[in-house]
Amino acid sequence: MKKIFFIGLMMISLIGFSQKKIWFDTDIMIGNPDRAPREVDDAITLMMALKHQDKIKIEGISLVTYVDYAYGITEKMLKWYAPNLNIPIYKGSNTCKDVGEENDATRALAAALKKEKLTILALGPATNVATVLKNHPELASQIEEIVFCAGRTPDFHFRPGLEQYTVSDYNFEKDVESFRIVFDSGVKVVLSGFEASVYLFLGKTDYEFLDNSFEGDKLVYDFLRPWSLRHKQLFGNDGFIPFDVTPLGYLTHPQYFKYYENIPVDIIIAENDATIPLDRPKEKSFLVANKESKSKWKCLYAYKTLPGFEEIVIESLKNR
């Protein structure tokens, strides 16, 4: 009896420490001089993911948009924060207007899925992931789930900071057709976007510790400051919302979120609610999770981040 109990404890221990194998698809732009300052949350999320390798194991990183710059900065971040992991990086769609066209990233992701089942953490437009599903529909069963930073509930508007302006659902709106392909594939989809992330805010005092002598931390800090000041100029407060950490948080710390389970999701056309940029179209597509919808598409929708998760994010950024 004691032997059986001991074996049971060992099994529970092994299960508790098992890693979820993930593929990290990102539009990382931190420091991109094309239109500086550029958003920093993908880089923050990568740093956090590398800190929690007890919970997840990154099998590969694929890039979407600005892929040449993204390759260089991702390579540097892996050298700084995970020099021993040897995580491969692949360039994907550069424009998000070429769904179905193969590239290094889609070929690598397809090859990885043929070997084993994976969870995909998709932090940018869905182009790379949709290309794999469009060209290799048989691989849908190899995807445990895809976690996107996108979507909203009805009548929810994306208003950062002091709510002076309304912004767009960038990841979704950049390539709407790819989201259709993903939902039509029948793969389990998790959405954790602005609505869950708005509970988080990193001000200067939250990341000042990065202003130190370590090359990686110092460079990240030097990119965070202009992004924070841009947020102050546009939205009224000095800091930023690290949107992409909540999709990762679903994988590493799921107990810190509230969810709508198996909620219908639609793509609808409606009046454009964004107030910037000024040359916006009058109407646009919206990705909406709606309990009242009759849509055949379903998702798990994270709608709220609970207290304590922001502290986990900050601790994840502290030097290794």
The pLDDT assigned to 276 comes to 83
Mean pLDDT over 291-319 rounds to 96
C-alpha distances (whole Å) from 97 to each of 39, 65, 93, 94, 177 are: 21, 10, 8, 8, 9
Q: pLDDT digit string (tens) for 214-262?
A: 999 999 999 999 999 999 999 999 999 999 999 999 999 999 999 999 9
Residue 19 has pLDDT above 60, yes or no: yes
The pLDDT assigned to 280 comes to 84
Q: Which two tokens stand for residue 1?
A: 């009896």
C-alpha distances (whole Å) from 102 to each of 91, 127, 145, 173, 213 are: 11, 10, 22, 21, 41
pLDDT confidence tier of residue 38, bands split at 50, 70 and 90: confident
The pLDDT assigned to 22 comes to 98
CA angle 14, 244, 296 (to 5 degrees): 85
Cα–Cα dist 5/26, whole Å: 44
The pLDDT assigned to 45 comes to 98
252: closest CA among 308, 181, 298? 308
pTM for the model stands at 0.93
Instruction: Give the burial class of 229: count Cβ atoms within 10 A of its Cβ; 0-12 exposed, 13-18 middle, 19 or more buried.
Output: middle
Of the two residues 37 and 180, the one the predictor is more confident about is 180
Residue 10 has pLDDT above 80, yes or no: no
The pLDDT assigned to 191 comes to 98
Write a three-state SS string for 70-125: HHHHHHHHHHHHCCCCCCCEEECCCCCCCCCCCCHHHHHHHHHHHHCCEEEEECCC
Instruction: Kindly report the backbone phi and psi dihedral angles of residue 25, in degrees, each rounded to the nearest multiple of 5, phi listed first.
Output: -105, 125
The pLDDT assigned to 292 comes to 97
The pLDDT assigned to 320 comes to 57
Percent of the chain with pLDDT over 90: 90
pLDDT confidence tier of residue 195, bands split at 50, 70 and 90: very high
CB atoms within 10 A of CB 199: 16
Task: Please state, rounded to an integer, the average pLDDT across all residues of the chain.
Answer: 93
pLDDT confidence tier of residue 1, bands split at 50, 70 and 90: very low
257-271/20-26 β-pairing: unpaired
Q: What are the structural domains of the chain?
A: 19-316 (3.90.245.10)
Q: pLDDT digit string (tens) for 100-135?
A: 999 999 999 999 999 999 999 999 999 999 999 999
Of the two residues 192 and 36, the one the predictor is more confident about is 192
Secondary structure of residue 16 in the 3-state scheme: helix
Residue 16 has pLDDT above 50, yes or no: no
Percent of the chain with pLDDT over 70: 93
Q: In what order do the strands lie in the sheet with 298-305?
A: 89-91, 56-63, 20-26, 118-122, 143-148, 189-191, 298-305, 257-271, 283-289
Residue 283 has pLDDT above 70, yes or no: yes
